[in-house]
A and B are shown apart, each in its own frame.
Chain A
């Protein structure tokens, strides 16, 4: 199951590695270095099936972006995975669909992404 992934992460190396892993699994990956540029991508027409969201970012943080996800019609309903190195996260992070702890495992990342992508793709029409 191939999905369109929006990866929001300010650390260039983490962004690069995660995007690499997801692309090798066949997904279409778009990257943003902070919440604001991610929002720009969505406003510009990107329709991700899954959003991977870092918490600590300059400008618009992950928590702030998550608030947007709940209030912005363009983002509503898109599954969000919070990716964080903190053991304690802000309360709003619990409203995300799933959470991945850094350092992220390849298997966990891919399994979770596939599951969420599958949930987004409508079942094939019965012939």
Chain B
């Protein structure tokens, strides 16, 4: 209040005669009145433009623009319309009528010669009014200012609180949380970044974060991110981040634009979620499923192959029995003489032998797959055994036009499983005949202090290098089943048997030039002590 009272108020005194102005100045000489003189209407208008006045004392009779014209212009201006005007005039003519022309603000008049008391009193009233208005306006302004400050403070508090909560939240979640400016530049990332990558959050800002991406992910990730930044569409991608140890883990990377109604996109809020375990588990599941399906397919194929192999010897067996039955039923004597019957019986026996071997092989798969390969060792004359197997196949080889040569060192004796080794030799020799293209086959046996060496050499189609490993696998063969039958078990079983003896089988082959299979058989008993045989040798021995 004191401040308001103390501040001087402006009073504009307009009169073309300086003496009149001075006279009014003298009457109104008061410390809180500041008299501003104007010697013309134009000057008065200029003053009104630049400062505020509590009241204007306006001489009516002035050369040029007179008091009424000046007042009219002052009243036209919005800013000066409210300033009270006291006309100073020598005559009272038409004053009341003139006042009607002014719709706004106070208007009054004083007659010349001026009565100092009347002048002071009128001016004082208007000054009082002005001061009150000014005070109210100032109070209102103060009030508005106070409210504005309060509002700003509240805003800041809310913003600060939101920011604090947001940071706390960002630090609390298990994901990497980051924020970027509207152009996609990282401006914040939480501490998880450090835990995940070993890199300081500060290093991630700007474009720094891309250094933690897997080299193969950098370009596609960045392209996709730039595309989102451009279009404002949510970002989502799986990429790998390098950990502090240098290994890579998969993350699901997401970002959403933050929008405000006025400014559009104000920034981006993003997360990196570790999905590595999840992804790995999914991959493992897929792999397991694939393996299971592969297993089922293999089994189905095997069953089809097995059925085919079992039916093949049944064909001659059935034909021969039916022929014999017909001959008997129809009493065709010339078909029933020993010379005719004997070859038929031999043929039938061969088929029975084939079926027996097939059945044994099938049983062997089941056993050997579970590791149940039990050797029944005894003293074996390997030379005799091999010669016998060769002799048994001689006829078959000759029927296919294949000469078979033998070079067996006599008297090779050891402690082995004769039945199993017979199986091995049968497999190798059958294969040589089957894939030998009728070219000569050579079977040899020699021995040194350490091991016996059995070699079966053919000159047939051979085994391509890429298949040489595979053919020892179960159900595998180097050739297409369009051309060759068989269970695809012979070499697999043979290898199992030889390994159970502590030996090995080697293959030396060139495609088109034939194949040489060499069996190395240790002379000393070295049981292959894998779990299965260990288990068997214990459980098989009487307690």
- Which positions in A face B, CB cutoff 8 Å? 11-14, 16-18, 20-21, 24, 33, 55-59, 61, 63, 85-88, 90, 102-107, 109
Contacts and interface: CB of A to CB of B under 8 A. Distances in A.
Contacts of B50: none
A19 to B, nearest CB: 10
B484 A58 contact: yes
Interface string B308-325: 110111111111101100
Contacts of B481: 56
Interface in B285-311: 304, 307-309, 311
B311 A16 contact: no
A12 B400 CA distance: 7
Given A14-B312, A85-B308, A105 B485 contact: no
Nearest to B480: A61
B351 A13 contact: yes
Given A12-B399, A58-B484, A102 B304 contact: no
Nearest to A19: B319
Given A11-B315, A87-B307, 18 more contacts: A11-B312, A12-B400, A13-B316, A13-B351, A16-B347, A18-B315, A33-B400, A56-B482, A58-B434, A58-B435, A58-B461, A58-B479, A61-B483, A85-B311, A85-B312, A87-B304, A106-B322, A109-B319
A61 B437 CA distance: 15
Contact of A17 (B308, B319, B326): B319
Contacts of A102: 311-312, 314-315
A10 B274 CA distance: 61
B323 A106 contact: yes
Interface string B425-461: 0000000001101000000000000000000000001
A7 to B, nearest CB: 12
A76 to B, nearest CB: 23
B396 interface: yes
B342 to A, nearest CB: 14
B350 interface: yes
A86 B351 contact: no
A105 B323 contact: no
Nearest to B484: A58
A104 B483 contact: no
Contact of B322 (A56, A57, A58, A105): A105
Given A16-B347, A24-B323, A103 B318 contact: yes
Interface in B315-367: 315-320, 322-323, 326, 335, 347, 350-351
Interface of B: 304, 307-309, 311-320, 322-323, 326, 335, 347, 350-351, 396, 399-400, 434-435, 437, 461, 479, 481-485
17 contacts: A12-B399, A12-B400, A20-B319, A21-B322, A24-B323, A57-B483, A58-B435, A58-B484, A59-B483, A61-B482, A85-B307, A85-B309, A86-B304, A103-B311, A103-B319, A105-B322, A109-B319
Nearest to B434: A58
A104 B399 contact: no
Give 6 closest A-B pairs by Cβ, nearest first.
Answer: A103-B314, A17-B316, A85-B311, A106-B322, A17-B319, A103-B315
Contact of A20 (B311, B323, B483): B323
A14 B311 CA distance: 11
Q: Which of A33, A58, A109 has the most CB of B within 10 A?
A: A58
Nearest to B332: A24
Contact of B326 (A11, A58, A86, A106): A106
Contact of B315 (A12, A57, A61, A85): A85
Q: Which of B307, B309, B461, B485 has the most CB of A within 10 A?
A: B485
A87 to B, nearest CB: 7
Contacts of A59: 483
B318 A105 contact: yes
Contacts of A105: 318, 322
B405 to A, nearest CB: 21
A58 B433 CA distance: 12
B319 A106 contact: yes
Contacts of B311: 85, 102-103
Contacts of B400: 12, 33
Contacts of A85: 307-309, 311-312, 315
A59 B436 CA distance: 12
B485 A56 contact: yes
